[in-house]
Amino acid sequence: MLRSSIFSLTLSALAMPVIADEVNIYSYRQPELLAPLTDAFTAETGIDVNVAYLAKGMIERLQAEGDRSPADVILTVDISRLTDAVNAGVTQPVTSDVLTANVPAELRDPEGQWFGVTTRARIVYASKENVADGEITTYEDLADPKWEGRICTRSGTHAYTLALVAGMLHHHGEEETRTWLEGVKSNLSRKPQGNDRAQVKAIWAGECDISLGNTYYMGKMLEDPEQQDWANAVRITFPEFEDGGTHVNVSGIAMVKGSPNKENALKLMEFLASPAAQEIYAEANYEYPIAPGTEPTELVASWGTFTADDVSLATLGGLRADALRLMQEVDFDG
């Protein structure tokens, strides 16, 4: 019988003997999202997959466990979290022709420390009632005074927001980004709060007209009967940087520095980067697969096409600290 289990992060788990036919994942992604992938991997390879879901503190857990950690692979979201793991010294470089063939250079670490699996775009949710189609086309537009009192957003210090600000820094430099942040702040209808879906709910409730959010939340809302009205109140708009494309981020994988099942871990990473696995994962979470020849689901494709910004996500990861500092200096959440 195939097995994809959730193991307990206890001292007893740390003392478990290494089993040759298993691989262990620490993940910020819910186990139900990973089950189709891990089941398919086990069916193909005979290697059992154990998934430990962590709500927070993955890096701290790995640092505390050190060489005793049972973890082989981390699977997380957002370039800042992947960068933090590398900077904390809890990952190791991987060399793989399969990974480099399936993951575009801008979506993987130049040193092989992490690899993107799927992408999501950071887009504008716009009120169908109050915002004309095509009225907003760039991220820079968010600072236009015409949006005064009409924007809702989550915290400026959230990883998703900081990645977008890092993109602005890359394209425009610090002073223009500071001015842009001040303009966006002045256009907020309320203090930043809640998650991406909460912003769409606020648009539905008439509290604002536009918000920033990840594309996959549209799918999540449409599958929830209590949130379908929120989703149907907005359209997805793919803004671009004035001299670039639409900001994208990743779900990504990395091998843990002390992986006790290194060979199996590499097999899992290569599987997750394969076209078949990426399409499974993309369908489960309404994301975009990135391997050559893969396509999004019919629902995701129906939201429209866009040109992804081609900046290396490793570059954006390196700008995260500056993005956070600017957010704090303009007191964006204040």
CB count in 10 Å sphere of residue 88? 14
Q: What is the pLDDT of residue 1?
A: 35
Q: What is the pLDDT of residue 31?
A: 76
Q: 4-119+248-294 architecture in CATH?
A: 3-Layer(aba) Sandwich (3.40)
> What predicted TM-score, i.e. pTM, was given to this entire model?
0.89
User: Contact at 8 Å (CB) between 112 and 244?
Assistant: no
Three-class secondary structure of residue 162 per DSSP: helix
> Which pair of structure tokens corresponds to residue 288?
């975009």
User: Contact at 8 Å (CB) between 213 and 286?
Assistant: no
Q: What is the pLDDT of residue 284?
A: 87
C-alpha Rg value of the chain to the nearest Å: 20
The candidate with the shortest Cα–Cα distance to 150, out of 100, 187, 175, is 187
The candidate with the shortest Cα–Cα distance to 214, out of 142, 274, 159, 137, is 159
Q: What is the pLDDT of residue 16?
A: 42
* Boundaries of every domain in the chain: 4-119+248-294, 120-247+307-329
List the chain pLDDT tens, one digit each, 334 residues: 334 444 433 333 433 444 459 999 999 877 778 899 999 999 999 999 999 998 889 999 999 999 999 999 999 989 989 999 999 999 999 999 999 999 999 999 999 999 999 999 999 999 999 999 999 999 999 999 999 999 999 999 999 999 999 999 999 999 999 999 999 999 999 999 999 999 999 999 999 999 999 999 999 999 999 999 999 999 999 999 999 999 999 999 999 999 999 999 999 999 999 999 988 888 889 999 999 999 999 999 999 999 999 999 999 999 999 999 999 999 999 9
Question: Which superfamily does 120-247+307-329 belong to?
Answer: Periplasmic binding protein-like II (3.40.190.10)
Q: What is the pLDDT of residue 30?
A: 78
Give strand ranges (E) for 147-192: 151-152
Paired strand residues for 115: 108, 253
CA gap 287, 119 in Å, rounded: 6
Q: What is the pLDDT of residue 4?
A: 41
Three-class secondary structure of residue 135 per DSSP: coil
Q: What is the pLDDT of residue 33?
A: 80
Tell me, yes or no, if the two domains 4-119+248-294 and 120-247+307-329 fold the same way: yes
Q: What is the pLDDT of residue 3?
A: 41
CA distances for 102 relative to 83, 274, 298, angstroms: 20, 7, 22
